[in-house]
A and B are shown apart, each in its own frame.
Chain A
Amino acid sequence: MTAASLLIVVLAGIYAFRHQESQAEKVAAPAATAVVDSSACIASKEYMKANHMRVLDEWRHSSVRDGNRVHVAPDGRKIDKSLNSCLNCHSNNRMFCFNCHMYANVKPNCWNCHISPMEAP
């Protein structure tokens, strides 16, 4: 009985050691990431109309500076905090950003670097 339990302990130990060894990958698995999910918007149309700039600013800060790339939508979906999450859907309309910004005379500098829906291939 004791011999059998000892054997189990030793085998478990070997398995754990092997398992640990195989964990040493070249690039460790990312800590917390989510897919670029553009199937539905993260919030209501009204909320996004009023607050998209705050959402983008918060996403930029927390993903670039803190490394926290996962946004949890109210319905529990996990979304990668990336402009691409938005643009995968909104670049369908090439004037999506520009219509409103031109009307409101707002000149955000996103497109100095990021690829705008107008330039998207």
Chain B
Amino acid sequence: MNEDRRSFIKKAGIGLLAGIGSAAGLFPALSLEKTVFPAWDEKPEPGKHRWGMLIDTRKCSGNCRECVAACHFTHNVPDFGNRKDEVKWIWKSGYEKVFPTASSQFQSSEVTERPYLALCNHCAEPPCTKACPTEATFRRWDGIVSMDYHRCIGCRFCMAACPYGARSFNWRDPREGIRLASTEYPTRMQGVVEKCNFCSERLVKGQEPACVEACPEAALVFGDLNDPASEIRRLLESNETMQRKPELGTKPSVFYII
């Protein structure tokens, strides 16, 4: 037996490969290339989209509340009729409250007296998610700052962290405050924090957010901020826009044309 090491290893290697090959034929689970992908492989690509909204406040004015009504009906947001128990996802507020740090002095009274629409800004650097001790609120793969109500323990740290007052606490059982219930979306329970979810349940069906769809003046534009060809990006380039409290560095995804 004067076979040298090198040729022995070669033959052994060929034998091993042949063994794997025949085993793969016999047992499909051993084949090297996956042919059937399990469901967990269909995860969305993180950071591909970043959903954003542009509010043209020149068109959005007056006492119209179509968007608020549509949103609050769609998501079963309760209305108890008092400020203490108030739960809101989208609301109208004065210029001083929505843009308290806007530096433009001597604005025209038409601008400062107009109501402005406010909602969760779905920040790129959200302070609320950093405050949450249970990761019940988190920034999703598509830029939406989402709430997992199953995990919320009601500590309200996120409410303290949010600089925009976009979060509400359920002091009471919300089902008592829902007059007309939508069966398409769950309610919340007493003791959790809730806020706008950018209609993520509608986005998976390929629909636009309820407020955008309901706006009679088409003042709300929703789209992908990461797509340079999207309508929202085109409007952001061709108009001068504002964000709420941009100096905080939260990088809001909601923009305003004043």
A interface with B by C-beta (< 8 Å):
21, 23-24, 26-33, 60, 62, 64-72, 78, 109, 112-115, 120-121
B interface with A by C-beta (< 8 Å):
38-40, 42-45, 49, 138, 140-142, 146, 148-150, 183, 186-189, 203-208, 222-224, 227, 229-231
6 contacts between A and B (CB under 8 A): A28-B49, A33-B205, A65-B148, A66-B141, A113-B149, A115-B186
B residues within 8 A CB of A67? 43-44, 140-142
Q: How far is the CB of A34 from chain B (nearest CB, A)?
A: 9
Q: How far is the CB of A84 from chain B (nearest CB, A)?
A: 9
Cα A69 to Cα B149 with chains together (Å):
18
Cα A114 to Cα B185 with chains together (Å):
8
Q: Is the interface of A mostly helix, strand, loop or mixed?
A: loop
A residues within 8 A CB of B227? 24, 28
Q: How far is the CB of A33 from chain B (nearest CB, A)?
A: 6
A residues within 8 A CB of B141? 66-67
A112 nearest in chain B by CB position: B189
Interface pair B43/A66, CB less than 8 Å apart:
yes
Q: Is the interface of B mostly helix, strand, loop or mixed?
A: loop
A residues within 8 A CB of B224? 28
A residues within 8 A CB of B146? 64
A residues within 8 A CB of B189? 109, 112-113
Interface pair A24/B229, CB less than 8 Å apart:
yes
Interface pair A30/B205, CB less than 8 Å apart:
yes
B residues within 8 A CB of A121? 183
Cβ-neighbour of A68 out of B40, B187, B223 (below 8 A): B40
Interface pair B183/A120, CB less than 8 Å apart:
yes
Further pairs besides A24-B230, A31-B42, A31-B44: 13, Cβ < 8 Å: A23-B229, A24-B229, A28-B224, A29-B206, A31-B45, A32-B44, A33-B204, A66-B40, A66-B43, A68-B39, A113-B149, A113-B187, A115-B183
Q: How far is the CB of B97 from chain A (nearest CB, A)?
A: 30
Q: How far is the CB of A2 from chain B (nearest CB, A)?
A: 33
Question: How many residue pairs bridge A and B at CB < 8 Å?
Answer: 71
Interface pair A71/B148, CB less than 8 Å apart:
no
Cα A71 to Cα B205 with chains together (Å):
16
Interface pair B186/A113, CB less than 8 Å apart:
yes
Cα A12 to Cα B184 with chains together (Å):
45
Q: How far is the CB of A22 from chain B (nearest CB, A)?
A: 10
Q: How far is the CB of A120 from chain B (nearest CB, A)?
A: 7
Q: How far is the CB of B53 from chain A (nearest CB, A)?
A: 11
Cα A32 to Cα B44 with chains together (Å):
8
Cα A113 to Cα B44 with chains together (Å):
27
B212 nearest in chain A by CB position: A26
Interface pair B188/A113, CB less than 8 Å apart:
yes
Cα A105 to Cα B183 with chains together (Å):
28
A residues within 8 A CB of B142? 67
Cβ-neighbour of A114 out of B148, B186, B204, B229 (below 8 A): B186
A residues within 8 A CB of B148? 64-65
Given contacts A32-B44, A64-B146, A114-B186, contact A21 B229 (CB under 8 A): yes
Q: How far is the CB of B13 from chain A (nearest CB, A)?
A: 37
- A-B pairs with the 10 shortest C-beta distances? A24-B229, A112-B189, A32-B42, A72-B39, A113-B186, A31-B44, A67-B44, A114-B186, A68-B43, A30-B204
Max count, chain B CB within 10 A of own CB: residue among A27, A31, A62, A112: A27
Q: How far is the CB of B156 from chain A (nearest CB, A)?
A: 18
